[in-house]
């Protein structure tokens, strides 16, 4: 087993650009230039890029350069994008560069959430007029993206959604803002054929942004506070901590961020993370594991901490378990612990069904499993490792498809170790069949060692001597719940827009079929979705009027929320989890 070494060069990609900058530059274009924006982005993407410190330079042509000034790694103002062409600053190039770059986190604003003690004394808190207007703007902009689908949601529609996201943040709605940015990121990944793009993930992002924007204007009390979100995660003092390393995983996002996150546990089994994530590409994701962790004066790298321990004094911890690195935090190296020894062994002692219930109820989604490898199959999305987990037939899949990360190669090698009993750490994938992303595992031949599958690279010599040739079977057909008839239309709308559901006869009879199979609500939702997509009124002269985007977005949102809730219920049932994990349909 050998660690992945980072390449000798650094990816010189474009720096992240704040949403407000992209919205401002696109909004300033003339109608004629807006029509040419998508073509301009494609042309600019083919030009050479050079990074010199905080400046990224693009050669627009042999005589003209475009510069992005990113102090701290992020472009935060329109003036920081400068072009040398004759039409600057009103040229197409500046808006194209901003639209082609990853979306950065917008400038933080003060958190407007009312403190708990004030909320208790107040009567019923409601959203302010500015917040209701901002939520409406987000809903309308996201509806326009849904109506067009990824194929039609070009840079102009993306900029409108980024503008709405910035407005929401200024109005004190960071959750709606972040959800809108996630949709833009997903649309860009789809349009650029990013291998990490997943239609289901984008559908979930669209569902989240529409759901938050739809509910927020009428929300009150604690519901309103949750829908607003918080601009920053508050770090709270947590005294002294004795932490034991669990594993490290690489981070490589479609938004242009990369790095590593190391997971640790304390003596009570609480999970804590240490992260090093910043703008960058695959080389940073593979190299961050060998950087020193940013806590106190310790020289431990992420790779070392995943096997060792840490003693922290003056610790600060966010609600999600992330450790702060303030000036008052002190940390020194300590001894680690085996996965099969105390205190880490207690993580695997929790029944699997209870772990799944926790994940579906909003807790962390890591699963600590004892599995027996039974082989592998080849699915349409790649190789899948089959395992038995306490009688549950489980499918373990790669956590990231980027070829710079060894996830896929490691899973392929493990598939040859049939019969091996291993402890693994995986991330739950909600769905009607037991499935999880494989993150770390015990070494196939050395139970005292473990492998971070996104950072360490297994060799053929690491496998048991009795293994045969690598399998290449095709996954057998699996009986799917009829809910897929609704889910398929929900996903089709995200990809192709309203028009793909408006074709005469499209999906004809699926609603009736769902009702015959006992899913009456699903059938009604599907019929309404098709009716909303096909609803086009005409004026007095017989000309088609614009489609009712609001009706279509609400019909799609109802179908998406229902599908997600039922699928989570099916997931709980597949793992034998408690019915309490099934979310309510709200």
| Distance between CA atoms of residues 209 and 268, nearest Å | 36
The confidence score (pLDDT) of residue 233 equals 59
Residue 140, SS3? helix
The confidence score (pLDDT) of residue 306 equals 93
Angle at 549 (CA atoms; ends 548, 553), nearest 5 degrees? 125
Instruction: Return the CATH number of 236-334, one of 2.40.50, 1.10.3470, 1.10.10, 1.25.40.
Output: 2.40.50
- Percent of the chain exceeding pLDDT 70 equals 87
- The pLDDT tens digits of the residues spanning 56-91 come to 999 998 888 999 999 888 899 999 999 999 888 989
Instruction: Return the CATH number of 350-462, one of 3.30.1380, 2.40.50, 3.30.450, 1.10.3470.
Output: 2.40.50
- The pLDDT tens digits of the residues spanning 309-335 come to 999 988 888 777 888 877 778 888 999
Residue 218, SS3? helix
| Distance between CA atoms of residues 143 and 544, nearest Å | 20
The confidence score (pLDDT) of residue 173 equals 95
- Percent of the chain exceeding pLDDT 90 equals 51
Higher pLDDT among residues 340 and 319, named by residue: 340
DSSP calls for 313-330: ES-EE-TT-BBP--TT-E
| Distance between CA atoms of residues 385 and 543, nearest Å | 56
The confidence score (pLDDT) of residue 12 equals 46
Going 35 to 99 to 51 to 303, the CA torsion angle's sign is: negative
| Distance between CA atoms of residues 208 and 465, nearest Å | 49
Higher pLDDT among residues 152 and 578, named by residue: 152
Residues 235/323, Cβ–Cβ less than 8 Å? no
Domain boundaries along the sequence of the chain: 19-100, 116-228, 236-334, 350-462, 484-581
Farthest-apart Cα atoms in the chain, separation: 80
- The pLDDT tens digits of the residues spanning 162-195 come to 999 999 999 999 999 999 999 999 999 888 877 6
Higher pLDDT among residues 467 and 156, named by residue: 156
The structure tokens listed for 288 are 């961050």
Q: In the predicted model, what is the mean pLDDT of residues 422-435?
A: 91
Please report, for residues 61, 154, 174, 344, the alpha-carbon distance to residue 159 in angstroms, rounded to integers and kept in the order given. 25, 9, 18, 47
Most confident listed range (128-142, 219-233, 497-511): 128-142
Identify the helix (H) or strand (E) that includes residue 415.
Answer: none
C-alpha dihedral over 143, 177, 168, 318, to 10 degrees? 150
The confidence score (pLDDT) of residue 229 equals 87
Confidence check: pLDDT of 494 > 90: yes
DSSP calls for 231-278: SSPPPEE---EEEEEEEEEEEE-TTSEEEEEEEEE-TT--EEEEEEEE
Angle at 316 (CA atoms; ends 363, 275), nearest 5 degrees? 65
- Tally of CB atoms within 10 A around 45: 14
The confidence score (pLDDT) of residue 377 equals 85
Burial class (CB within 10 angstroms; exposed 0-12, middle 13-18, buried 19+) of 543: exposed
Same fold flag, 236-334 and 350-462:
yes
User: Where does residue 419 fall: left (phi above 0), alpha (psi -120 to 50 degrees), or beta otherwise?
Assistant: left
Please report, for residues 320, 451, 525, 571, the alpha-carbon distance to residue 275 in angstroms, rounded to integers and kept in the order given. 12, 19, 42, 30
DSSP calls for 25-80: HHHTS-HHHHHTHHHHHHHHHTS-EEEETTEEEEESSSS-EEEEE-GGGSB-SGGG
- The pLDDT tens digits of the residues spanning 10-60 come to 334 788 899 999 999 999 999 999 999 999 998 988 888 898 888 999 999
């Amino acid at each position: 087993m050998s660690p992945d070494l980072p390449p000798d060069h650094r990816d010189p990609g474009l720096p992240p650009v704040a949403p407000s900058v992209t919205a401002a530059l696109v909004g300033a274009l003339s109608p004629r230039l807006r029509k040419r924006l998508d073509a301009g982005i494609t042309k600019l993407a083919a030009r050479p890029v050079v990074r010199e410190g905080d400046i990224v330079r693009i050669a627009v042509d042999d005589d003209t350069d475009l510069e992005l000034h990113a102090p701290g790694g992020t472009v935060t103002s329109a003036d920081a994008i400068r072009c040398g062409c004759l039409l600057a600053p009103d040229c197409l190039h500046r808006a194209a560069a901003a639209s082609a770059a990853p979306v950065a986190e917008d400038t933080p604003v003060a958190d407007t959430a009312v403190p708990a003690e004030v909320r208790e004394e107040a009567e019923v808190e409601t959203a302010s007029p500015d917040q209701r207007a901002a939520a409406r703007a987000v809903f309308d902009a996201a509806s326009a993206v849904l109506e067009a689908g990824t194929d039609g949601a070009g840079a102009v529609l993306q900029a409108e959604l980024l503008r709405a996201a910035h407005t929401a943040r200024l109005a004190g709605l960071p959750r709606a803002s972040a959800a809108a940015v996630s949709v833009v990121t997903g649309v860009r990944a789809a349009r650029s054929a990013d291998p990490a793009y997943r239609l289901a993930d984008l559908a979930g992002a669209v569902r989240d942004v529409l759901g938050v924007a739809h509910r927020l204007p009428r929300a009150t009390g604690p519901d309103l506070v949750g829908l607003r979100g918080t601009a920053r995660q508050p770090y709270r003092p947590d005294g002294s901590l004795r932490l034991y390393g669990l594993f490290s995983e690489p981070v490589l996002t479609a938004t242009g961020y990369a790095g590593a996150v190391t997971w640790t546990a304390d003596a009570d089994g609480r999970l804590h993370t240490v992260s090093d994530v910043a703008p960058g590409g695959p080389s940073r994701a593979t190299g961050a594991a060998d950087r020193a962790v940013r806590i106190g004066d310790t020289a431990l790298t992420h790779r070392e901490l995943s096997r060792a321990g840490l003693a922290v004094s003056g610790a600060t911890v966010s609600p999600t378990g992330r450790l702060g690195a303030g000036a008052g935090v002190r940390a020194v190296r300590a001894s680690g612990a085996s996965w099969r020894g105390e205190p880490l062994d207690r993580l695997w002692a929790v029944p699997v069904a209870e772990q799944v219930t926790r994940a579906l109820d909003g807790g962390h989604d890591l699963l600590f499993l004892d599995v027996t490898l039974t082989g592998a199959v080849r699915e349409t999305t790649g190789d899948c490792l089959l395992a038995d987990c306490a009688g549950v037939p489980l499918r373990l899949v790669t956590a990231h498809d980027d070829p710079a990360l060894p996830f896929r190669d490691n899973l392929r090698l493990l598939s040859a170790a049939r019969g091996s009993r291993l402890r693994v750490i995986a991330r739950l994938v909600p769905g009607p069949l037991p499935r999880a992303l494989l993150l770390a595992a015990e070494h196939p031949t050395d139970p005292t060692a473990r492998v971070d599958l996104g950072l360490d690279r297994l060799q053929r010599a690491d496998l048991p001597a009795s293994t045969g040739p690598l399998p290449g079977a095709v996954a057998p057909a699996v009986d799917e719940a009829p809910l897929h008839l609704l889910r398929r239309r929900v996903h089709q709308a995200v990809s192709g827009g309203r028009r793909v559901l408006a074709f005469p006869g499209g999906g004809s009879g699926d609603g009736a079929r769902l009702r015959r199979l006992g899913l009456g609500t699903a059938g009604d939702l599907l019929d309404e979705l098709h009716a909303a997509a096909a609803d086009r009124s005409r004026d007095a002269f017989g000309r088609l009027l614009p489609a009712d985007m609001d009706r279509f977005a609400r019909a799609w949102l109802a179908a998406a929320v229902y599908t997600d809730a039922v699928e989570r219920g099916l997931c709980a049932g597949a793992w034998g989890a408690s019915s309490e994990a099934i979310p309510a349909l709200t």
